[in-house]
Amino acid sequence: MSHIIGTVPLLIFLAFGTHLSRTDLLQHRLPNKTVFRLIAGLIVCEAVLSWSGVGKHDLYDSLLVAAKTVLVYIALYGLSRGQFGLGDVKYSIATGLVIGWYAPSQWFLSIMVSFFFAAIVSVFLLATKRMTKTDRIAFGPYMTAATVIVALFSFH
């Protein structure tokens, strides 16, 4: 039973992440209100689960990974010269909370998988001429997919 309850943060992330990914694909934005609700929901959920002793997870690990993840995305934002959005930076807090809950040692892998997915799709779209080199991509869906996949692979 505790294993099932322990999946709640991932289910919350999946529900919000699906909505945010769709919004990002259609509008190239990750709305602050939705991102902040997701972050708050994850923190409350993980705090309750951590406090109740459900599973092997720890809120401290989750918060630490969220901090590391957002620092990487802040650096990427600064280096990208406008090619990377602040919505992605804020959303990285949520992805860090999820990875920190399920697989704290895999936080950097999750970031790299996001970029790998984005690169594969971009190369395909460029090769099929559905995208040009100057087109912007919505990065939120790749962050969502990478987070879910890395978290799922952490289950034993």
For 65-112, write each residue's pLDDT tens digit. Answer: 999 999 999 999 999 887 789 999 999 999 999 999 999 999 999 999
Per-residue model confidence as pLDDT tens digits over 118-154: 999 999 999 999 988 888 899 999 999 999 999 999 8
Cα 27 to Cα 20: distance, rounded to the nearest angstrom? 10
Tell me what pLDDT residue 2 has: 60
DSSP 3-state helix, strand, coil percentages of the chain (rounded to 5)? 80, 0, 20
Burial class (CB in 10 A: 0-12, 13-18, 19+), 74: middle
Domain residues for the domain of 122 are 2-153
pTM score of the predicted model = 0.94
Q: Any idea which residue has 């809120």 for tokens?
A: 59
Distance between CA atoms of residues 155 and 32, nearest Å = 30
- Residue 78 tokens read as 């600064």
DSSP state, 53? Answer: T
Number of domains in the chain: 1
